[in-house]
Structure 1
Amino acid sequence: MSVSTTVPLPLFPLHTVLLPGAPLGLRVFEPRYLDLVSECGRDGGSFGVCLILKGDETGAPATPAAFGVEAVIEDFGSDRCGLLTLRVRGGRRFRVADARARDNGLLVGSVHWCDAQADAGAVAARLRPEHAVMGTLLGELLEQVGGEYARSNLRRLEEADWVGWRLAELLPLGDAQRLALLQEDDPHRRLEHLLLWMDE
């Protein structure tokens, strides 16, 4: 994990795990999160999604997991009830050093980015021979489910990071398993975790 100074990041704790590269739909109605979306729109910023370890998505600030993923807003609209809807996509992983609640109840974390090498444009790690079956499995899954990934460059099926995150997104894993993957920096070890879980 890279050692860096912390940066402030507003947090949106949820009973789900956002994964890097994965889409997520949100309905926003609490004032603290409406304020958050306004800030992001005004400043061009993003926010962090963390799994809730204790508490609820509404009401008093929940206790978030120490690891989360940046949520980048791709689109917004409203539902039939007039509530704000967002489509976000997972960006960089982060680790929360500490968090505090604003007066409106919004949690703001001091976070370390985990993916500094990816940000610097490092070459994506290739699948190792022992994980080639994972790329094949993902290719078969994408053919079945279709959707946005069906149009992805087939070369991505050779990237350890991308294969791992897409399998983590598509396979029936629990939140605790996805959170464990978020805490793992090595893409090859993430694939090892997935192989073990698939064998169980």
Structure 2
Amino acid sequence: MPENTSWIPLFPLNTVLFPGGVLPLKVFETRYLDMLRECMKNQQPFGVVLIKSGAEVGAAAEPEEIGCLTHIVEWDMQDLGVLMLRVEGSQRFRILQQRVLADQRLEAQISLIADDLPGAPDQVHLLCASTLKLVIDDIQNKGRASHGAEYASPFSLPLQFDSASWVANRWCEILPIPLKARQKLLELTDGRERLAIVHQYLLQHHII
């Protein structure tokens, strides 16, 4: 796993971001506005990490050890001091060491976690993918009906139903499960194992 010896900005949040996932952000704290300006200026990614203890505002929170790198795909500042962002998860990472800056921002040196290896779709994959397609189509149709041309899809393109990891990641974002459970799923190194757990959940709750 390659290590990044430079310091990466961290954004501790009460959410878990998966590779390929889309996250809208509304940022107004000065420290994070400064951080994001630097990221945009230097075309630098930042890491989204689930808060282990603490809060999103105030003193620096303690993050979980594994998070997801992101890149900014859209931004807007219609109101002074309020930055609206749309970011997309890219690759998971493990925090090797971290530090707290004077303004209570977090930075970390990280080790990147290799992407899940692709494989031929099996029956579990195909069933989860076909059901996911129905769910995504329903979300998209309702969103377009409600918001028209202003509708912004919560999914990035292209949709990758042929990828077990992508299908598992999207289910992990959609399902109503606790944040700690999402974090444990993010930490799994095998995308097919993640999908197998999702499949069991879908069976138990009679979704498939």
- TM-score when scaled to structure 1? 0.86
Distance in 1 of aligned mates of 2:61 and 2:50? 10
What corresponds to 1:14 in structure 2? 13
1:19–1:79 Cα change, 3 Å: farther
Which aligned runs of 4 or more in structure 1 are off by greater than 6 angstroms?
none
1:172 and 2:176 matched: yes
Q: Is the 8 A contact 1:14 1:50 kept in 2?
A: yes
What corresponds to 1:53 in structure 2? 52
- Letter of the structure 1 residue corresponding to residue 123 of structure 2: P
Which residues in structure 2 correspond to 1:63-142 (within 5 Å)? 63-78=62-77, 80=79, 82-115=81-114, 124-142=118-136
Q: Is the 8 A contact 1:125 1:161 kept in 2?
A: no
Distance in 2 of aligned mates of 1:167 and 1:14? 20
Higher mean alpha-carbon deviation, 52-61 vs 97-106, is at 97-106
1:192 aligned residue (181, 196, 199): 196
What corresponds to 1:5 in structure 2? 3
Shift of 1:193: 1.6
The SS at the match of 2:138 is: helix
Aligned Cα root-mean-square deviation (Å)? 2.1
1:151–1:27 Cα change, 3 Å: closer
Distance in 1 of aligned mates of 2:157 and 2:67? 27
Shift of 1:177: 1.7
Q: Which runs of 5+ in 1 are unaligned?
A: none
Q: Which runs of 5+ in 2 are unaligned?
A: 141-152
Q: Which digits, 9 at most, give the CA deviation of each residue in 1:15-56, with x for residues without a partner?
A: 111121111111222222122112112211010010001001
Higher mean alpha-carbon deviation, 188-197 vs 139-148, is at 139-148
Fraction of identical pairs, as percent: 31
Q: Which digits, 9 at most, give the CA deviation of each residue in 1:72-115, with x for residues without a partner?
A: 11111125575111111111111111211112211001111102
Q: Is the 8 A contact 2:22 2:155 kept in 1?
A: no
Equivalenced residue count is 191
Distance in 1 of aligned mates of 2:71 and 2:98? 20
- TM-score when scaled to structure 2? 0.83
The SS at the match of 1:17 is: coil
Which residues in structure 2 correspond to 1:134-173 (within 5 Å)? 134-146=128-140, 147=153, 149=155, 152=158, 156-173=160-177
Q: Is the 8 A contact 1:6 1:97 kept in 2?
A: no
